[in-house]
Amino acid sequence: MKITIEAWRQPDADAPGTFETYTLDDATPEMSLLDVLDRLNDHLVADGREPIAFDSDCREGVCGSCGMMVNDRPHGPTPNTPSCRQHLRHFGDITHLKLEPLRAKSFPVIRDLVVDRSALDRVIEAGGHVAVNAGQATDADDHLVDHDTSETALDYAACIGCGACVAACPNGAAHLFTGAKLLHLAALTYGKRERGRRARAITGQMEADFGPCSTYGECATVCPAGIPLDAVAGVNREALRFSFRHKAD
């Protein structure tokens, strides 16, 4: 199987980048996008050339580190699937791959396809946590959570923080990511104590690093975890809830 790869090459954040074109003659349909890059890098190294830098870790669709733009779409042509699980057999007649880093102002390029996504980490650091009493763990049934609430919380907690939602948004918004974190923690007993402070801190940090929501919904169509679009509405809902309760106090 022969494919053409147009890959973004950029030695560091301060240097200008450009696309370079490669031909891979020994690709196979079962290869994932990361397998393709591995094979291409094998050839580049054998020829004494610099391999393409890209992020990966688990390669099982769990860690979220493999994000890239593939033919101008975050992760690739298969909806709601991370790059590491995008296989050539699902690409149909596509034999030309344009690979570039996630395109968002909040994700500066480090090298080639690798970007700095620490802006997402700052959102979590601002309030994506709960306070618990130190010491011996409490019994599991001390804080009862019904089945439906648990399932809803798990649906939002499935976010892997890959950044595809930000790259898909014309405004570079992170509302799907932020809403998933807010609604996940708001649903559970331990998270309710700091719910208002969390909403203020997280939304403030999000607004500092990311753009406003475009309301187009592209984020949900590329999210590998299938985070529902109502997570976006959850951002404003949690922020307004804090605002009204704060005024009442």
Domain boundary among 56, 84, 111: 111
Number of domains in the chain: 2
Give the whole-number percent of the chain exceeding pLDDT 70: 96
Are 19 and 104 in the same domain? Answer: yes
Q: What is the CATH number of the domain that holds 102?
A: 3.10.20.30
| 130 and 236, same domain (yes or no) | yes
What are the start-end ranges of the E strands in 57-156?
69-70, 73-74, 96-100, 109-111, 114-115
When pLDDT is averaged across residues 82-99 and rounded to a whole number, the result is 94
Nearest to 120 by CA among 176, 66, 74: 176
d(CA 171, CA 184): 24
Side chain identity at residue 52, one-letter code: I
CA distance 91 to 104: 25
Does 240 lie in the same domain as 163? Answer: yes
- Do 87 and 126 reside in the same domain of the chain? no
Q: In whole angstroms, what is the distance from residue 23 CA to residue 4 CA?
A: 5
The token pair that represents 127 in the structure block: 């309030």
Q: Which of 65, 80, 111 is the last residue of a domain?
A: 111
Residues 122 and 243 in one domain: yes
Mean predicted confidence (pLDDT) in 4-30: 96
13-22, 135-144, 165-174: segment of lowest average pLDDT:
135-144
| Statement to judge: residues 239 and 144 lie in one domain | yes
Give yes or no for residue 249 having a pLDDT over 70.
Answer: no
Q: Give the pLDDT band (50/70/90) at residue 104.
A: very high
The 10s digit of each residue's pLDDT in 46-71 is 999 999 999 999 999 999 999 999 99
Of 11, 62, 34, residue with least CA distance to 224: 62
Per the structure block, which two tokens stand in for 219? 């984020």
- Residues 56, 175, single domain; the answer is no
DSSP state string for 40-61 = HHHHHHHTT-PPPP---S-SSS
Q: Say whether pLDDT at 244 is over 80.
A: no
In tens, the pLDDT along 121-154 reads: 999 999 988 877 777 766 766 778 889 999 999 9
What is the per-residue pLDDT for 192?
78
pLDDT of residue 208: 96
Q: Do 104 and 209 reside in the same domain of the chain?
A: no
Domain co-membership, 243 together with 143: yes
Q: Which of 83, 111, 139 is the last residue of a domain?
A: 111
Stated pTM of the model? 0.90
Domain that holds residue 229: 118-248
Which region among 112-126, 174-188, 208-222, 234-248 has the lowest average model confidence (pLDDT)? Answer: 234-248
Start-end of H helices in the chain? 33-46, 118-127, 147-157, 164-168, 175-187, 189-192, 195-209, 218-222, 230-248
Residue 248 has pLDDT above 70, yes or no: no
- 89 and 147 in a common domain: no
Please state the separation of Cα 115 from the chain's center in Å. 12
Judge whether residue 247 has pLDDT over 60. Answer: no
157 and 197 co-located in one domain: yes
Q: What pLDDT does residue 206 have? A: 96
pLDDT, tens digit (0-9, with 9 covering 90-100), for 206-240: 999 999 998 889 999 999 999 999 999 999 999 88
Is 21's pLDDT higher than 60?
yes
What percent of the chain is predicted at pLDDT more than 90?
79
Q: Are residues 24 and 126 in the same domain?
A: no
Rounded CA-CA distance 95/179 in Å is 37
Residue 184's CATH number:
1.10.1060.10
In this model, does residue 246 exceed pLDDT 70?
A: no
